[in-house]
Chains A and B, each alone.
Chain A
Amino acid sequence: MKVTKKDMENVAVLSRLDIPADKEAQYTQQLNDVLEYFDNLSAVNTDDIKPLAHVLPISNVFREDVVKESLDRDLALSNAPLKEDGYFKVPKVLED
Chain B
Amino acid sequence: MKLFEQPAHVLHDMLVNKEITSLELTEAVLARIDEVEGDVKAYLTITRDEAIAQAKAVDEKIARGETISFLEGIPGAIKDNICTKGVKTTCASKILQNFVAPYDATVMTKLREQNPVIIGKANMDEFAMGGSTENSAFQKTGNPWNTDCVPGGSSGGSAAAVAAGTAVWALGSDTGGSIRQPASFCGVVGMKPTYGRVSRYGLVAYASSLDQIGPITKDVTDCAHILNIISGRDEMDSTSVNEEVPDFTKALVEDVKGLKVGIPKEYFVKGMDPDVEKTVREAVKKLEELGAEIVEISLPNTDYAISTYYLISPAEAATNLARYDGVSYGERAEDAADLVEMMTKTRTQYLGEEVKRRIMIGNYALSAGYYDAYYLKALKVRRLIKEDFDKAFEQVDVIVCPTAPTPAYKIGEKISNPLEMYLQDACTVPLNLAGLPGISVPCGYSSNNMPIGLQIIGKALDEETILRVAYTYEQSQSFHNDRAQLGGN
* A residues lining the B interface (CB < 8 Å): 3, 7, 10-12, 14-18, 27, 30-31, 33-35, 37-38, 40-42, 44, 46, 49-56, 58, 61, 63, 71, 75-76, 78-82, 88, 90-93
What are 16 A-B residue pairs whose CB atoms fall within 8 Å in the complex? A14-B363, A17-B344, A17-B351, A17-B360, A27-B357, A34-B310, A34-B422, A38-B311, A40-B303, A40-B307, A56-B241, A58-B238, A61-B238, A63-B235, A75-B103, A81-B327
Which of B433-464 touch A at CB < 8 Å? Answer: 433-435, 460
Partner of B344, one of A16, A71, A80, A90: A16
Q: Assuming the A-B contacts A17-B359, A55-B386, are A33 and B419 also in contact, with contact meaning beta carbons closer than 8 angstroms in the complex?
A: yes
Residues on B lying within 8 angstroms of A by beta carbon are 98-100, 102-103, 195-196, 209, 235, 238-239, 241, 301, 303-304, 306-308, 310-311, 318, 322, 325-332, 336-345, 347-348, 351, 356-357, 359-361, 363-364, 367, 374, 376-384, 386, 418-419, 422, 433-435, 460
- Bound complex: CA of A93 vs CA of B301, how far in Å? 49
Q: Give the docked Cα–Cα distance between A45 and B337 (Å).
A: 49
Given contacts A31-B357, A44-B304, whether A81 and B241 have CB atoms under 8 Å apart is no
Q: How far is the CB of A47 from chain B (nearest CB, A)?
A: 9
Consensus secondary structure, chain A interface = loop
Q: Given the known A-B contacts A16-B344, A52-B382, A81-B330, are A38 and B339 also in contact in the complex, defined by CB atoms under 8 Å?
A: no
Are A90 and B374 interface neighbours, CB within 8 A? no
Chain B residues, CB < 8 A from A82: 332
Contacts of A80 in B (CB 8 A): 327-329
Apart from the given pairs A16-B344, A79-B99, 19 other A-B contacts in the complex at a CB distance below 8 Å:
A3-B364, A10-B367, A15-B359, A27-B360, A31-B357, A34-B418, A34-B422, A37-B306, A37-B307, A46-B384, A51-B379, A52-B383, A53-B379, A55-B195, A71-B103, A78-B100, A79-B102, A79-B330, A81-B327
- The interface centre, meaning the residue of A3, A15, A82 with most chain B CB atoms within 10 A of its CB, is A15
Q: Evaluate contact between A46 and B377: CB separation under 8 angstroms.
A: yes
Shortest Cβ distance from A46 into B: residue: B380
* Known pairs A50-B383, A56-B195, A56-B196; A17 contacts B356 (CB<8 A): yes
State how many angstroms separate the Cβ of B83 from the closest Cβ of chain A: 11
Contact between B381 and A46, CB atoms less than 8 A apart: yes
Whether B364 pairs with A91 at a CB distance below 8 angstroms is no
Which of B238, B308, B383 interacts with A41 by CB under 8 Å?
Answer: B308
A53-B332 contact given A41-B381, A44-B304, A91-B337, CB 8 Å threshold? no
Considering the complex, give the chain A residue whose CB is closest to the CB of B209. A54
Q: Is the CB of A88 within 8 A of B356?
A: no
Can you list the 8 inter-chain pairs with the closest CB atoms, starting with the nearest? Answer: A55-B435, A51-B379, A79-B329, A81-B332, A52-B383, A46-B380, A61-B238, A14-B363
Cα(A54)–Cα(B435), bound, Å: 9
A33 to chain B, nearest CB (A): 5
Complex Cα spacing A48 to B480, Å: 47
